[in-house]
């Protein structure tokens, strides 16, 4: 870790805890900052706040007093999930207090290169693939996963050495809070419409994602999904070297699918059929990962070995169990329509029971009508169940069942199924109407599946 001096004796406000805020507060304290942590959760229910207080860090919990900003803070480090119209954040902007997210702190102290991955869908799978590829033949150091994948970036950067790499999944929320952040290699998996409740417009969302490359130079590389005409056009606006990837066309300067083979430039790496995870979307993810691996010097054999033995990540079309001839899959990470559409492409609809629903962000679901056609039954829950029911009717699904939540949906789905069917949780919505995060939603689903065996 670089021992930077810029925060010594500077007042810093960390707004919001969870994993990233907790790690940011610890790092800033280690760097000599005068840290104040403010979190909305009451102290007696807040183990992170209790831990930080024991370390001598000032903690204010249970509310967000606006008068805190009278204390002349030099910096605010904001939890990515807190919107910019939050009164404390808005007041900090009015006072011209710099507002960062902890990925910027991670960049400032990191001794090693950073590979940054963003996009609407496929980030976690692509990040995991890249980490496996970069560790496949490694003799020195390690490729660490960090960021939105669940490992706080500042915590990872604090322990990584110059011989390591940090493979960092980055959300649009995190990228809104950067300043000098610059990855050696950036990846944008795709760009669709998402999180408009936070970003307000698609233009704001795209701008947040595109910020990943804003500090990159001609010595750096940005891997872009060339299937997207929008990303093709945006590629003209970066100083980094562009490495395209595509499942639709041959690219002599990038990664591509051709006649069932995965290529980098003119060199065949492996057959697409050798990938350990199914689906056209995973071919796109693999091509982006292959591009990064080749830029980092991984051999074709190393790539083939890693990708053929990779069987996916938790909560992303994750096989759970087979019970009495019915296969169960957990795709809780599908928090938008496109992710569910991609998941459905890997199943035979006439033998599929779909579980869906969740947080209502104001959008409709008619784009899912083609993907829904032929589905055997759909079990719906959460705030969006009525909207999804309308979409299911338009798609011609005859069996539409409403229920309370994921846990009650599982036995209902089993009742509608027969030997040979698949039961898939792919909600097409965020979880926050009923669950703290998609991981807990997925865990509840898997627990309910296990209960069927009893």
Q: Please write the tens of the pLDDT for every residue from 217-236.
A: 999 999 999 999 999 999 99
What is the model's pLDDT at position 194? Answer: 65
Place of tokens 């750096």: 220
Is residue 388 within 8 A of residue 356, CB to CB? The reply is yes
Ligand-binding annotation for 120, yes or no, is: yes
Q: Count H helices, E strands: the chain?
A: 17, 20
Determine the average pLDDT of the residues in 98-126: 96
Q: In order of start, what are the domains of the chain with their CATH numbers?
A: 11-100 (3.40.50.720), 103-308 (3.40.1190.10), 318-451 (3.90.190.20)
What is the model's pLDDT at position 168? Answer: 98
- Percentage of the chain beyond pLDDT 90 is 90
Determine the average pLDDT of the residues in 11-31: 96
Whole-angstrom distance, CA of residue 354 vs CA of residue 445: 13
Residue 207 three-state SS:
helix
What is the model's pLDDT at position 324? Answer: 96
DSSP 70: G
> Is pLDDT of 196 > 70?
no
Is residue 40 within 8 A of residue 49, CB to CB? The reply is no
Ligand-binding annotation for 142, yes or no, is: no
Ligand-binding annotation for 123, yes or no, is: yes
Tokens describing residue 25: 């507060």
pTM value > 0.85: no
Place of tokens 């950036």: 186
Binned at pLDDT 50, 70 and 90, residue 326 comes out as very high
């Amino acid at each position: 870790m670089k021992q930077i001096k810029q925060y010594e004796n500077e007042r810093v406000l960390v707004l919001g805890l969870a994993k990233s805020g907790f790690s940011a507060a610890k790092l800033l304290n280690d760097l000599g900052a005068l840290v104040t942590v403010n979190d909305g959760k009451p102290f007696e229910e807040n183990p992170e706040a209790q831990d930080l207080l024991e370390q001598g860090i000032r903690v204010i919990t249970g509310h967000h007093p606006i008068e805190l900003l009278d204390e002349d803070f030099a910096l605010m480090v904001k939890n990515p999930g807190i919107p910019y119209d939050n009164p404390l954040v808005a007041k900090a902007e009015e006072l011209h207090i710099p507002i960062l997210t902890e990925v910027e702190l991670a960049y400032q102290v990191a001794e090693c290169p950073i590979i940054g991955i963003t996009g609407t869908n496929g980030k976690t799978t692509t990040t995991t693939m890249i980490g496996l590829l970069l560790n496949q033949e490694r003799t020195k150091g390690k490729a660490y996963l960090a960021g939105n994948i669940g490992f706080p970036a500042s915590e990872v950067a604090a322990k990584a050495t110059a011989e390591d790499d940090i493979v960092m999944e980055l959300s649009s929320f995190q990228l809104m809070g950067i300043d000098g952040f610059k990855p050696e290699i950036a990846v944008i998996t795709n760009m669709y419409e998402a999180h408009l409740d936070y970003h307000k417009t698609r233009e704001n969302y795209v701008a947040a994602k595109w910020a990943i490359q804003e500090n990159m130079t001609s010595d750096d590389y940005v891997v872009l999904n060339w299937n997207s005409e929008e990303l093709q056009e945006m590629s003209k606006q970066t100083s980094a070297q562009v490495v395209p990837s595509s499942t639709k066309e041959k690219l002599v300067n990038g990664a591509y699918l051709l006649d069932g083979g995965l290529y980098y430039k003119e060199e065949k790496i492996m057959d697409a059929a050798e990938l350990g995870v199914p689906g056209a979307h995973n071919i796109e993810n693999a091509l982006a990962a292959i591009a990064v691996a080749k830029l980092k010097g991984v051999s074709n054999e190393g790539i083939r070995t890693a990708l053929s033995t990779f069987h996916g990540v938790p909560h992303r079309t994750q096989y759970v169990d087979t019970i009495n001839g019915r296969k169960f899959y957990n795709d809780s990470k599908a928090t938008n329509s496109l992710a569910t559409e991609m998941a459905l492409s890997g199943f035979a609809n006439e033998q599929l029971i779909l579980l869906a629903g969740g947080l209502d962000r104001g959008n409709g679901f008619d784009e899912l009508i083609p993907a829904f056609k032929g589905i055997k039954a759909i079990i719906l829950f959460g705030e969006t169940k009525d909207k999804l029911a309308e979409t299911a009717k338009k798609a011609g699904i005859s069996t539409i069942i409403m229920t309370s939540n994921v846990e009650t949906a599982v036995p209902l789905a089993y009742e509608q199924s027969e030997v040979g069917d698949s039961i898939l949780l792919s909600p097409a919505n965020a979880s926050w109407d009923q669950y703290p995060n998609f991981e807990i939603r997925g865990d509840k689903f898997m627990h309910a599946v296990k209960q069927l065996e009893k």
